[in-house]
Structures are given as structure tokens and as C-alpha cells.
Structure 1
Amino acid sequence: MQEIDDYDYGGNNGLKNLALIVSLTLLSIPVLAFKYIDFVSTWKSSGYIWEAVLLNKQFAYRVDVFLSVRPYAKPLALLVATVLVICLGGLAMFSVTNDSLADCLWLSWTFVADSGNHANSEGIGPRLVSVSISFGGMLIFAMMLGLVSDAISEKFDSLRKGRSKVVEQNHTLILGWSDKLGSLLNQLAIANESLGGGIVVVMAERDKEEMEMDIAKMEFDFKGTFVICRSGSSLILADLKKVSVSKARAIIVLAEDGNADQSDARALRTVLSLVGVKEGLKGHIVVELSDLDNEVLLKLVGGDLVETVVAHDVIGRLMIQCARQPGLAQIWEDILGFENCEFYIKKWPQLHGMQFEDILISFPDAIPCGIKVASRGGKIILNPEDSYVLQEGDEVLVIAEDDNTYAPAALPTVWRGNLPKDFIAPKPAERILFCGWRRDMEDMIMVLDAFLAQGSELWMFNDVHEKEREKKLIDGGLDLSRLENIQLVNRVGNTVIRRHLESLPLQSFDSILILADESVEDSAMQADSRSLATLLLIRDIQSKRLPMSDQVHSGSLSHGSWIGEMQQASDKSVIISEILDPRTKKLLAMSKISDYVLSNELVSMALAMVAEDQQINHVLKELFAEEGNELQIRQANLYVVDGEELSFYEVLLRARQRREIVIGYLVSKAERAVINPPAKSERRRWSLEDAFVVIAEKEWE
């Protein structure tokens, strides 16, 4: 029995010595390899050339590739290191104690997990091994903390940078960032208010935190709408998928600041990326273009999926309309925004078989403006003939406060009177001044030539030299020799220098348009500051040139009020200022020394309206176009006799004798027009100082 015990003891000593040798060998291999690996090289083929590559560089390269490419590399490295420390520690512990190998491996794990366990070890050998294992355990624990910390930091950094995916449906997606974003978000929030709010996702090549800070500074109520920001490029499919582009109900592509062609080229590439989404798009695309000539390319790429709003060209034409009809800018602002009345299209089966003349007076809370004809592929006919009969499948276009605030009622009895007079007055020649230079100047000149009477003058005052000015107009497609009604008068000067402006006959112009100059249009604040300076200088010069009798009669001299003098000058000529920043609007509204066209806000309103209903874009395009129907302000003497009592319905039917649709009225001395008035059947007394807002095919002469 004693012999067997001696034999087992000798066998255990052999195993323990072997375990110690293996442990020391495994620990020494990395040290020797790290020290002498520089002396080992391999041969690597690069084409036809064989070159020596040091093994340490190859090893470092392979480790780097493994850690970079494999997402599980760091956790795997930590696991391998932990297993090695436990195994080596267990073998070493087995070599210096009388415990079994299984017990030593478990003890080694406890030292790794809790370094304080080695305090209970007895003997020099076990203590040295346990301390070594504990140091390895601390290293493992530090690696694990670093790995967890990096993972958490990376996740929070991903959330902070806007890299996480948006999991939304039926949201509005805005691609890009510009000065129009604030007004656009405001309009979308108002549109979503009746639904209890909505989700708007903004993706731009900006830092997410910066975008959120800029949006937080916007001074308006989101009315339950949540805005989610993400950093990314609209040209990268992976970024588009990150914002759930395929599930958005509308996608708005904003024009970038800067060169018009570059901005439109980027919009074209964005549409190509959107069309290339494999999952397909649920909603339509609304693209803000800078140049009308590029619209054909967008339609070629996107087809019926894309609606375009050519902002710059639209604002130029709108400014001309507003210069010739003061107050029209405010009416457009009311119709385009969601705060008052806007366009809606809906089917009403109960109206089938009725003529459009009867449909006009069938809505107490709305004004019909057109028909979407089903038999003509859904084409919208604005201001149709009275005899048109509503067919099955047709839809009615109306102006109403909201889509759920109107419905047809019983047909009222309306007296159909006659117009008070029908005459054609010759249009007088006009003198108009343009201050500043826009890139669509040639289009504005062609529109003016079509509107104005023969013998009219267009003065252009800016710092572009005359030869360069002529070259730009010709390159834009304007044939100066084919202008029939206007004569161009060129003056070179700075619009914010008083002595330059004083060289112009400012008191003789019927209308003055202050344009957001092309050189500063990228900065809304700078452009508006320049426009305000020009406006104040012109009004001051005009007030100083007023006849003395006018100044004394107005009381401006006795009061010494500069704003009073400028308001007196504003009665003599119309000035339209192109304003980019909504905050500048408040200054002009309070002073009442100029009408204005809030270009950025109007474009944002149009984008939001088309995003909500794709069909409305066809209506807006016709109203903004050179030909076809347009919004106009007409004097009351064309429809009523002074002091005559008529209901709005009666005025509406009278206007149909000229193929016009009256959508509102402007009472004398009132600041704002009333669009889609209530109580349309109630009679009221009209004055010849009143005016009516109409949709008409051409301007009444």
C-alpha cells in the first residue's frame, strides 16, 4: 500500500513539474517573439517583384485588419485573453499546490474575477502565482471596462451625431438646409395642427446638435409637431434609408445657397438617388429649383413623382404683379399659408349634374375656383365656363379655411343683376425703376413688356456695368430688339449711396422694385439690410422733393416726423421690397412706408402646400405663369354702384359676366383683404373706394 502511495506521489510531482514548465514556456513565448520577431522576414509577391516583409509588420497589419473589419474582434480578444489568463494561472497554481487541476482552474478564475481572493493564499509559491493571476485579472477587468466604455460612448456619439435610423411612417422628410427652413417648418406645423401634430425629419450635411440648436431658436409654436434631425447626404442611399425615405408621405428637396446651376445639379442627383431606392417611394417629391430651364431635366428623371417649385422665377413675376397692384402680396401670403384660407380639392357626388355657375354659390364656407376633370386625366381647369356640368369622378377646387370646414348646402336664391358699366380704358404708359440685379432679370423684363402699355420706360439702376448688363440679358435669352412696349434706360450706381440715388428722378416713377441683389442674396440678413437702406434713402429723397403744399397739407413739416414724410411719399408711388428674412417683415409692416414681397416665406408656403397635396402645384403654376388665370385686385366700380347694397353671392355672380371669380374684398382704409368671407348671403353697402380680389384670365383694361 505504501508503494502505491509513493508511486502516485511521484506521478503527481511529474505532472506538477510539467504544468510549471508549460506555464513558463507559454509565458516566455510572447516575450521572445516580441524581441526577436524583427529578425524574421517573409517574401511577398507584388506583381512580378518579390520583396522582403518583416514578420512583425505582417503581424501588426493582420491584427489591425482583424480589429477593423470584424465587428466582434474586441470582445473576442477579451475572451481569449481571459481564457489564457485562467488556463495559465490554473496550470501554475496546480504546479505549486496539492489541489487537483480542476480546483486550480476554478481558483484561478476566482482570482481573475476578484483580485482580493489571493490574500488567503499560504506559502511563497501559491502567493506569487495568485498575485500574478490577480494582476492579469486587473488587466482583464481594465480591458473590459474600456471595451464597455467605448461601446457606450460610441452609441451615445452615434445618437448625438444623428447616425441612428429613423423608424417612422407617413412623416415629411426635408433634405437640405437653407434660410427657408424655418418658415417651411412653421407652415408644416400649422398644417399638422388639425391632426394633432406630425413628424418632420430634416437631413442635411450639418452637425445634428447645430441643427437642433438652430431650430430651437426659431420663434414659433410647433403645435404638436416633432422635428427630428439627422446628419447625412441626400446623395447616399444608405443615408436616405436611415431616415426611412421609402415610408415618407412627402419629400422636400431644398435648394442650396449659391450658384443656381450647381444647386439644381445637386437637386437632380438627389432625385436620381431617391428614384433609385429599391423599396420604392410611398410619397411624392417636391423640389425647389433655382432656374426654370432646369425643370425639364427634373421631370425627365422623376416623372409624375416629382413636383417642382421654381422659387426665383416665381418671386420675380410676383413682384411685378404686386408693383402694379399694391396689396396683392398680402393676399398671396394669406392664400399660400395654412393660417388662413387655402386651396383644397375634393369629390362631392351630390353636386353631379350641376353647372359650375350653380356650384359657385353652393358652398357657404368656401369659394369654388375650378374643376379637376376626370375625363381629361385629372387635369385641373381653373375658372371654367359657367355651362360646365360636373360629371361623375370630377372634383371641385375651392378656397376654404380647412378641408373639414366646408360642405355644399341647399342652393340659395341669388339676384343676378347687371354690371354697372362696361368700358375699356386705355392703359397709360408707365415708368418703373428696378434697384438691384437678379439673375432672372430677363424674365422680369419680358413679363413687363407683355403687361405695360406702349411707350413705357423701365429704368435699371445697379452696379453692373452697361456692357456686362447687356451681355447677361442676351445670354439669358432676351432679344432687346423685340421689346415692343418698354424702353430700357440703364443707370450704373450703388443702391445704398445717397448721391447715386439722387441722380435719378425718383419722384416720377409709378413703381419702384427693390430687388435682393444677386451679390448678397445668399445672406438673408445682408440682403434685407441693403434693401432697407435703399428703401429709406428713396423715401427720404422722395419726401424732400414733394411740393411744399403737399408737405404742409400732410402736416409732416409741423410734426417733424420722418416716418410721416415717408408715408406721404408712399402715396405718390408704389415701392415693392423683396424681403428674405421674416423678421424684417415686422419693421416694414409697422412703418407702412413700403409694400413687400416676403420671398423666402412665400416659397416655403408653396413648398409646404405642394408637400401636403401634390395636385395644388398645377394650380399655383397657372396662377404664377405669364399666361392664363391670375390673382388680381379690381376696383369696386367695375361691379357695383356707389352705395349699392348687395350680398357677396350677388357680386360673385355679377363678376361671372366677365368670366371672373371673386374670392374676397378689400374695404377702403382696411389693412388686409377678407378672403372667403363669411355670411355670403347677407347684404352690405359697398363703396367705390372698396376693391375686390378676383381670379381672372387676363387683366381688365
Structure 2
Amino acid sequence: MGGERPKKRRRVPLRDRARYRFDRTLARSAGSLMGWLVVSCLAVVVPVSALLVWTDPGAPPSLSGRLTAVWRSSAETLRLGAVDGTPLRMLLAALLGLVALLCVSTLVGVITTGLAERLAELSRGRSTVLEEGHAVVLGWSDQVFTVVAELVAAQVPHRPRAVVLLADVDKTEMERALAAHVGPSGRTRLICRSGPASDPGVLALVSPRTARTVLVLPSGEPTADAEVLRTLLALRAVLGEDAEGPPVLAAVRDDQYRAAARLAAGPRGTVLETDTVTARLIAQCVRRPGLSLVLRDLLDFAGDEFHLADADAFHGRPFGAALLGHAGACVVGLLTPQGRTLLNPPADTAITPGSRLIILARDEEAARPEDCRHLVERPVIATAPPHPEDAAHVLLLGWNRRAPLVVDQLRRTARPGSVLDVVTDRSVPAPAREPEPEPSGAARLSVRFQSAALSRPETLLGFDLTPYDGTVVLGPDPGDGPDRPDDRTLVTLLALRLVEERTGRQLRVVTELTDDRNRPLAPLDPGSDVIVSGELTGLLLAQIAQNRHLAAVFDELFSADGSTICLRPAGHYVCPGSVTTFATVVAAARDRGECAIGYRRHDRRATPPDHGVRLNPHKAERREWSPDDQVIVVATDPPTPPTPGPPIPNPTREDAPPAHHRECASD
């Protein structure tokens, strides 16, 4: 067998070979690059200088004179000097010019590099913040925009001079996002620093020791709670055991991290559990339509919010006297000298020296005492007790990590005989068996599960929604569904709207969204309850950041037990159709053991953005109270003992309270 034939050598064009050799020469060293730069400059400067000399009518006639002129032109162009004489002098002048050019270029390069590094360091946000009395926000999530916006909107003197944000996000990106979502910050400076907040060395850059308050936000990642815990430990390492350090406010999603976070936050720390708060609000909105609108108005700094006011004018008097003791504020509770918060205490509770009033007002200046008892018109106050709430039939569409908490809250607040139907497209861990009903009465809440493809609108179109008193729509958790969880929620809401159009029956829908920008896209009736969990948490954090004593107030308002915010028919307090003052409504609510804080009207004027909600009206305000109006009160629901069981509710039995008829006092 013969040998293999040699492969035919590929012909490479001369141009490609020259380019390859040139690239290889440049890659050798910096000296090669400088050499090619010199050759390139000479290849352009010398011919052009010669052309200028030869075309000059006043050029020397001799060849040596013209060459000297070419040398001078080239030397001046390259800043090499223009020394004449022997070739040695010209060579030395050129060498001196090259050395000077090299030194100047090196100096410019050093200055440019230093400035570039300094600017890069500033853009990375690694310089120390020298502020006092500022608010420090640690972490980056959707909640940060609500928190910063509310801190900026806070009334003076509550507004911080500066809000410093530290997150493991690019500084430029944070500033751009804040400018887009928050807008102008007025006199409040927004300062961003980049780096992991769980690193004590990085955390010291934002000067937490001199801060007025520190807020720790959870991210949207699965490990968010663990990162919050690490940040709290880093903050403790920076602050030490200083009892005079700033108040620390943190939020976690899972209850299993709450106890550890409280220990890490220290005695001046407050920890919120966001999933539980969201679940409580969803469950309360099922029973009290319009509650989310009230809380949205109550929690932002644009209108009236909770404050602490002096109670000197009421020392030794009962709490009920303070309810009609302010014309421009609504009293809802007491802060005892021992620091205990009493929300809607009994009217005969004595106000002791050192106590402070918890009021709802636009600012603290509105808490000036003013006797309003003369504004009460007793003849129009309704005297008959209201009907108790009936059993409810609720439909829950969708499932996520907060769904078991929602079911548990519905179980705690359900009336005997209530039913909850859960429809989801995923498997739900249900109890192994239904508990045995107690012989004392009907089950408080029965829970039934059904699997269906909620992502298909025709699924809901085939449901009979007539028996349901309320519908709860939950979206999937991030990572369990589409990239934007609200997309599936919007599809479900669209199907419910089609059901309303076909049946002509308006549904009471409570919807959970993750992005507030999707609120206008939701096909819901104006005034429907839409819960944006991130926004709700941000509003709560901003309120408590201004006054840490309000943490106990909001904890009770959002709990299943104790006093909560309720919307009840105006006919429970005054005769329908009567024209009377708000002070009369406050007196009627006081007689029932409640604190009235506003009303919601239902007429053609009940349009966005308030949807008819009016908080803290003046006590002298007179209006006609129609049967459709509602009074907003802080009240305690009739006690219902909690039932033990897993997160998926287990029904119990309870006797229903007797029914009453409603009457009005005659004029």
C-alpha cells in the first residue's frame, strides 16, 4: 500500500498573513505597541509635513532648507521640540521630547486611572455615610418602594432628614428604580450603598449607631428569612449591647423564624410576620367588604394615621369621656404608664396619670381637647341590638404558602355552620380524617377540597357561584407558576367577571396580588378588596418605624382575637334617614363598647380614590345617614373560643347566639 497523499496546503492571502503577524506583534508587549504607535505617527506626520513645505511658496529653495522645515513642522506637531543644527542635536532634541511626552502621558494616565477608580468606588456605593437621625433600610424587595415613599411623605417632625438604603444591588440600579417608583423626595435625601447587609464591615458604612430607626426587609428569594436573621445578627455585632441604640424593625415571612429574629433584634426590636398579617387581612375582608380600602387610607401618611397624645385633661376620668373630648381626632385606646397598649378598653376604664391616648388624627396638633358632648343628639340613636352575623359560604380559588394561614384565620372567625370550598389545581395536604362533631351544636366551619384547572377560564364558567357569600382568589407562589404570579390571578378574575355578566349577580371578591401596578388591570368592581402583600407590609413597617408603640396596636387590629376594625351598617347606631352629627355616632358606638373612627358612604359620590371612605370626620359634621352607609369602628367581635387543629381547619360545634330585632328610638 502506498503512503498517504500529502494534504494540499491552503493558500492564505497576503493581506490576512500581514494582519495576523501585526496582531501577533501587538500581543507581545507594551513596547511593541508603543513602537507601532511611533511608526504610525511618523508615517502620517512626516509625509504631510513634507507636502506642506513643498507646496509653500515661501519655502527655502534648497533641499537642505526644505528638509529642515519638514523637521520643524514634524517636531512641532509631535511636541518634540524644534532644535536646529547638527543631526546629533536634532536627535537629542527628539529624545528629550519623547521622554517628556512619555512622562506627561504617564502622569495623565495615573490621574485618569485614579479618578476612574474613585468614581467606580463611588458608583459602587462603598463610602461611609456620615448622617445622624436618618432612617436605615436594609435589603431590597418590592416593599422598599412603599417604605421609602411613606418615610418621605411622613409629617414633620416624623420625616427623617435622610433615608439610607443598603442592599446587595448595584447603586446606580437602586437610584434609578427609586426615582421611577418613589419620584421626588423633597427635602429628604435618598442615599444608596451597595453591599451585603449581613456583612458587619459593610453594614458599618450606613452608620446604624447614629440612625433614628433601622428597618430590615425580606427579599423575594426562598432564603429571605434566613438572610434577615443574618442581617439582624450583623446589626447586633455592629451596635453591640448598647441599650440606647436605634429601634430595629424587621419582617419575616415564616413563623418559624419569628422567635429567632426577635432574639437577634434585641429588646428594642420589633418583628412582623408578613404572611400571617396578609392572611389575617384576607380573612377579615371576607367578612367585612371594603376593609382593605379603610386600612389603605389608615396606613399611609397621606391622610389621618395613629398618634400618641397627652391625656392630662382626662386624668381620673373614664376612657369613655375621652371619646367625645376631641373635635378633630378619634380616640381608640390607651398607652398605660407601664407601656401596655389597651385598644378599645371598656368605657369605664380609669385614665391614670402618665397614660397617653391613642388617637386617629392628621397630626399631633389636632389632639387639642375640646368637649363635644353638646353635639350629641340622643333621640336619633338606635337602641335595639343588631342581628348577629349569619353563617357564610365562602369559595377559595388557588393555593399558595399563605393559603393554610388564610384557612386557619377563616376557621377562627367563622360563625357556626359556615362552609369553605377550596378549588385548586394542585394537591393540598388535608387531614387524614374529619374530626368527630361535638354534640353541642353544628360545626363552625366545614372545609371541602376540589381539584380543577383554574388556568382555564371555562373551568370557572361551569361553576355555580350562586350559593357563595364571598370569593377569595390567591395566586401561585413565585416559581410555582408563570414568571409573574399575578398573570394567573388576572385570568381567574376575568373568568369571574364573565360569570357576573352571565348571571347578573355581583360577587364579593377578595383578591391577593403581588404587584400594585396590576391593581388597575384587575377586572373588578370599584371598591373591591385587593390585598397587595408587599404594599401592606411596607405601609405597616413605615408606620411602626415612626412610633414603635404602634406595633401592639396593629398586631391586635390584624389578629383574629381582640379588637379589630369593622364596617357595620349605620342603622346599628342612628336611625336610617336621620340627619345628625358624627359626635352622635361616636356616642352610639360608645354605648355599644366600640370606638367610631369614620364612615363609608354608598352613593354616586363614592368614587376613587377614597371610594366613599371618610376617616376622622369633625365631630360637628352633619350629614344624612342612609341605610346603605357604613360606620367604621374599632370593636371586639363576640368571643369565639379557638379550635385546636392543623393549619387546614378542623370543624367544631358551637351554639348559635340568639337573634335580635333592630329598632330605632322615636323622636
What is the TM-score when the length of structure 1 is the normalising length?
A: 0.72
Q: Which residue of 2 aligns with 1:366?
A: 329
Deviation at 1:673, TM superposition (A): 1.7
Q: How does 1:51-66 map to 2 (within 5 A)?
A: none
TM-fit CA distance, 1:160: 1.5
1:528 partnered with 2:462: no
Number of the residue aligned with 2:69? none
User: In terms of mean alpha carbon deviation, does 581-590 or 690-699 score higher?
Assistant: 581-590
- Partner of residue 689, structure 1: 628
Aligned partner of 1:384 in structure 2 is: 345
Over residues 149-195 of structure 1, what are the superposed CA-to-partner deviations in whole Å (9 max), with x where a residue is unaligned? 21111111111121222222211111111122222222112115677
> Which deviations, in whole Å up to 9, do the C-alpha atoms of 1:550-578 show, x marking residues without a partner?
xxxxxxxxxxxxxxxxxx432xx311111
Stretches of structure 1 lacking an aligned partner (at least 5 in a row): 1-113, 547-567
Question: How many Å separate the matches in 2 of 1:664 and 1:589?
Answer: 28
Quick check: 1:314 aligned with 2:277?
A: yes
More helix by share: 1
Say if 1:588 and 1:594, in contact at 8 Å, map to a contact too: no
Q: Mean Cα displacement is larger for which, 589-598 or 379-388?
A: 589-598
Matched, 1:494 2:487: no
Write the deviation string for residues 603-649 of structure 1: whole angstroms up to 9, x where unpaired: 21111111111111110001111111000111122212223343222
Q: Counterpart amino acid of 1:569?
A: R
CA distance in structure 2 between the aligned counterparts of 1:195 and 1:625, rounded to whole angstroms:
27
Judging changes above 3 Å, is the alpha-carbon distance between structure 1 residues 500 and 243 closer, same or farther for their aligned structure 2 residues? same
1:481 paired with 2:430, answer: no
The correspondence of residues 140-179 of structure 1 with structure 2, limited to 5 A, is: 140-179=103-142
Aligned to 2:587: 653
**In structure 1, distance between residues paired with 2:344 and 2:281:** 20
2:313 partner SS: helix
Q: Aligned pairs, how many?
A: 549
Inter-partner Cα distance in structure 2 for 1:408 and 1:226: 36
Write out aligned runs for 1:639-678 (5 A): 639-669=573-603, 670=606, 671-678=611-618
Task: Quote the offset at 1:136 in angstroms.
Answer: 4.7
The 3 A distance-change label for structure 1 pair 381 and 196 is closer
Which of 1 and 2 has higher RCO (CA within 8 Å, sep 6+)? 2
Larger mean CA deviation between 579-588 and 342-351 belongs to 579-588
Please report how far the alpha carbon of residue 271 of structure 1 lies from its aligned counterpart in structure 2 after TM superposition.
0.4
Q: For structure 1, which segment, 396-405 or 636-645, has the greater mean C-alpha deviation from structure 2 after superposition?
A: 636-645
Q: Please, which of 206, 223, 226 is the counterpart of residue 265 of structure 1?
A: 226
Correspondence for 1:621 among 555, 562, 569: 555
Residues 87-138 of structure 1 show CA distances to partners (whole Å, capped at 9, x for unaligned) of xxxxxxxxxxxxxxxxxxxxxxxxxxx99689499995x8877766665554
Residues 677-700 of structure 1, C-alpha deviation per residue, up to 9 Å, x if partnerless? 02x135443232221111111159
Find 1:610's aligned residue among 544, 551, 568.
544
Contact 2:291 2:529 in 1 (8 A): no
Q: CA 1:123 to 1:200, structure 2 compared with 1: closer, same or farther past 3 Å?
A: same
SS in 2 for 1:346: strand
The aligned counterpart of 1:404 is 365
Matched, 1:541 2:499: yes
Q: Name the residue aligned to 2:651.
A: none
Secondary structure of 2:505's partner?
helix
Question: For residues 253 and 457 of structure 2, what CA distance do their matches in structure 1 show?
Answer: 32
Give the gaps of 5 or more residues in structure 2: 1-77, 438-442, 640-656, 658-667
Q: 1:250 aligns with which of 206, 213, 217?
A: 213
| TM-score normalised by the chain length of structure 2 | 0.76
The residue type equivalent to 1:516 in the other structure is: G
Tell me how far 1:252 sits from its aligned partner.
1.3
| Partner residue in 2 for 1:75 | none
* 1:240-294 alpha-carbon deviations (Å, 9 max, x no partner): 11112222211111111132xx211111110010011157574211111102332
After superposition, what is the alpha-carbon deviation per residue over 1:42-61, rounded to whole angstroms, capped at 9, x for unaligned? xxxxxxxxxxxxxxxxxxxx
Letter in 1 for 2:301: F
> How far off its partner does 1:413 sit?
2.9
- Alpha carbon RMSD of aligned pairs, Å? 3.0
8 A contact 1:416–1:654 mirrored in 2 = no
Identity percentage of aligned residues:
26
Matching residue's letter, 1:358 = A
Q: What is the CA deviation profile of residues 425-481 of structure 1, one whole-angstrom value per residue up to 9, with x for unaligned ones?
A: 45433221111112132222222122223332211111112xxx116x79xxxx963
Equivalent-residue separation in structure 2 for 1:226 and 1:480 (angstroms): 58
Does the 8 A contact of 1:169 with 1:247 survive in 2? yes
C-alpha contact 1:630 1:697 (8 A) present in aligned 2: yes
Pick from 496, 510, 513 the counterpart of residue 469 of structure 2: 510
Question: Does the aligned pair in 2 maintain the 1:192–1:225 contact within 8 Å?
Answer: no
Question: Against the structure 1 CA distance between its residues 699 and 592, is the aligned structure 2 distance closer, same or farther, given a 3 Å change threshold?
Answer: farther
2:532 matched to 1:569?
A: no
1:408 aligns to what SS in structure 2?
Answer: coil
Aligned with 2:393 (options 431, 435, 446):
431
Find the counterpart in structure 2 of residue 58 from structure 1.
Answer: none
CA distance in 1, matches of 2:524, 2:390: 32
Amino acid at match of 1:697: T
Change (3 A) 1:665 1:174: same
Which one is further off, 272-281 or 620-629?
272-281
Q: Is the 8 A contact 2:135 2:162 kept in 1?
A: yes
Shift of 1:520: 5.5
Structure 1 residues 521 and 651: alpha-carbon distance in aligned structure 2, compared to 1, 3 A threshold = farther
Contact map agreement 2:316 2:352 (CA 8 A) in 1: yes
310-319 or 194-203: which moved more? 194-203
**Residue equivalent to 2:37:** none
Q: Distance in 1 between matches of 2:117 and 2:435?
A: 66
Residues 699 and 648 from structure 1, CA distance in 2 versus in 1: closer, same or farther, beyond 3 angstroms?
farther
Give the match's secondary structure for 2:484. Answer: helix
Is the alpha carbon distance of 1:666 and 1:230 closer, same or farther for their aligned partners in structure 2, counting shifts above 3 Å?
A: same
